[in-house]
Amino acid sequence: MLDVGDDVPDFTLPKAGGEVYNDIGSFTLSAALADGPVVLAFFPAAFTSGCTAEMCTFRDSMHRFDELDAQVYGVSVDLPTAQNVWILREDLNFPMLSDWDHELIHDFGVVLPDMYGEFEAAKRSIFVIDADGRITYRWVEAEGETDFDAVVDSVQEAVADIAAD
């Protein structure tokens, strides 16, 4: 699993922008880092209750990340068209990245091998990446319920630490 201090290999994924169901562009990490820190919030699957709660907590806190010039992206193995429908349904105000071929969850070491005992998905986890492409913060969900407000607070503090450097 990638950890704090590790360099993130550059990658390109489809990006669901959320304007309409087929609003699909391209995201390349190295290009995004030119605009400030990047937050990658991996989640198992769109349309599930826990993932909706997590992403809606980010939605309601986006002003805090905007103030720090940080970009937040949700990441799942869902196809980008499904992510777009979910973005529209939940009024999410940030894009989603589609790791449809599961390469990124393997590269980051955040594989949930048997979601619902049926398929491989992303383990709920968050990484903050600085302009140099280095991980400065990592959170991986442990067993039990998660306080998403507290998690987002910690992520925002990690981004603020980058801005202070």
Instruction: pLDDT tens for the chain, 165 residues: list them.
Output: 899 999 999 999 999 998 988 999 999 999 999 999 999 999 988 988 888 988 999 999 999 988 888 999 999 999 999 999 999 999 999 999 999 999 999 999 999 887 656 779 999 999 999 999 999 999 998 876 688 888 988 999 998 998 777
Model pLDDT, residue 116: 58
Report yes or no: 124 and 43 within 8 Å, Cβ to Cβ. Answer: yes
Closest CA to 36 of 124, 138, 104, 136: 136
Active site residue 51: yes
Which among 51, 72, 122, 129 is annotated as catalytic?
51
CATH class of 12-164: alpha beta
What does the domain layout of the chain look like in residue ranges?
12-164
Q: How far apart are CA 117 and CA 108, in angstroms?
A: 22
Structure tokens at 138: 């990592």
